[in-house]
Structure formats: structure tokens, C-alpha cells
Structure 1
Amino acid sequence: MNTIKTLAFVGDSLKHLRSFPAAVRQDIGFQLYKVQRGQQPRDFKPMPSIGPGVQELRVWDECGTFRVVYTAQFQEYVFVLHSFQKKTMQTSQSDIDLAKRRYRQVKEQQHGKN
């Protein structure tokens, strides 16, 4: 039996995701569902600068470029650390710093359970 990890949104990541265009939300939802099932999303890249096991899901649309930073390294959860519309070629330092803080929070919280 293939278990499905629970999707958990950290901070205001769900609020930001909900502000994305409908087609983008639908695509991201499908890609995150694949991650929950242990599969790889269509377009992602590792983000080791944020933390080990952190990935950035990438979606392009005529409305712009959208990103969801997540980690699936924990046994029961896929944590969405940050979601945002990318405005420049390089991810802004403030977006990276926010995802790093949230990653540390999640890590501390998960290690506290063991």
C-alpha cells in the first residue's frame, strides 16, 4: 500500500498560494499531490541553500513565474515552506531567508516529537 504524506503549510504559504491564478493553483496542487505520493514533480530544483531535502517547485504561466518551496524529507509530512511569484531571474534573498527560517522551525518541531 502506498501511503500518502499529509500536506502541511507553514506560515502564510497557503494564503500566498491561494492568490495565484486558478490554472497555476491547479498545476501546483497536482504536483504537490505527486510529492505526497513519493513521486517527483514535473519541474523542480533542489534548494540546498535553504536546507537538505528542500526543493523548489517551478510553474510558469502567462501571468508569470510561480514558486513553491517545500520539503518531503519527514516521514509523515510534506511541508510547504513558502510560495511566491518570482519577479526576477534570481530568487530574492528575502524569500530564501524566510524559507530558511520556516525550515528551521519545522525541523525543530519534528525533532521535538521524537
Structure 2
Amino acid sequence: MKKFKFINNQSKKEFLALPDKIQKRFANDLNAICQNKEPFSKFKHLKESVGIGAVELIENGRPAYRTIYVAKFADTVFILHSFTKTTNGVDKQAMDTAKKRYKLMQKETK
């Protein structure tokens, strides 16, 4: 079974700032992922916008919520970014943050 890890303190704060119901839903997804199962929530691969292996968990609504993780490394699921999505289309700032943290994760896993 894989473990999960926040890439930094800010990513942990972001996740904990999500509403309790959303945190629980995404936590259930992350637990499934750690057991090499599919998440229960909708998800989208972000290979082009963030990096290989990056996946976005999706909870639609008003507002919508997202958590971006990477599970491509053998023993760890890295949580890169969690946020409230308030715009239609791509949230460029959120993708930029996730991309920076993806690079941080790459350095950490070398």
C-alpha cells in the first residue's frame, strides 16, 4: 500500500481549508489511490498542463473543488494542490502552482 504525502506545508493547509464534506470525499479517493484503486470522484489527467502522472480530483458544484495529486512513484501519492474553483475553464493560477510543486516533487524524489 502506498502512503500519501503533502508536497509542502502550504498544500496541507489548502487541503485542510476545504469544507469538511469535500475533505472527506477527497480523503476517501486518496485512500483508494493508495491501495492502487480508482478514485470514487471524477478525475482528469493533467499530463499537458502540470506533468506526467498528475491527476485532478473533481467535485463540481457552486463552488467547485479540486485536488491535484501524483501517484506515479512506487510508494507515495503526492498531494500538490487543493483549491476552490470559481471560474469556468482552466484556472491558470492553480495550474501554475501545481506545475511549480510538481517540479519540487521531482527534485525531492531524485
TM-score when normalising by structure 1 = 0.87
Q: Which residue of 2 aligns with 1:18?
A: 16
SS in 1 for 2:72: coil
Which blocks of at least 5 consecutive residues in structure 1 are unaligned? none
TM superposition shift of 1:91: 2.8
1:55 and 2:88 are equivalent in the alignment: no
RMSD: 1.2
- For 2:78 and 2:25, the matched residues in 1 are separated by 17
Map residues 45-84 of structure 1 onto 2, 5 A cutoff.
45-48=44-47, 49-61=49-61, 64-84=63-83
Counterpart amino acid of residue 103 in structure 2: R
TM-fit CA distance, 1:41: 0.8
SS at match of 2:93: helix
Count of matched residue pairs: 107
State the shift of 1:16 in Å.
1.1
**Could you say which residue in structure 2 is the equivalent of 1:41?**
39
Of the three residues 4, 7, 17, the one matched with 2:4 is 7
In the TM superposition, what whole-angstrom CA distance separates every residue of 1:45-70 from its partner, at most 9, and x where no partner exists?
Answer: 00012000100001135x52100000
Secondary structure of residue in 2 paired with 1:73: strand
Q: Between the two proteins, what is the percent identity of the paired residues?
A: 29
- Structure-to-structure mapping, 1:71-110, within 5 angstroms: 71-110=70-109
C-alpha offsets along residues 68-92 of structure 1, whole Å, 9 cap, x if unaligned? 0000001110000000000111232
SS in 1 for 2:36: coil
Q: Unaligned regions of 5+ residues in structure 2, if any?
A: none
- Which one of the candidate residues 31, 47, 53 is aligned to 2:29? 31
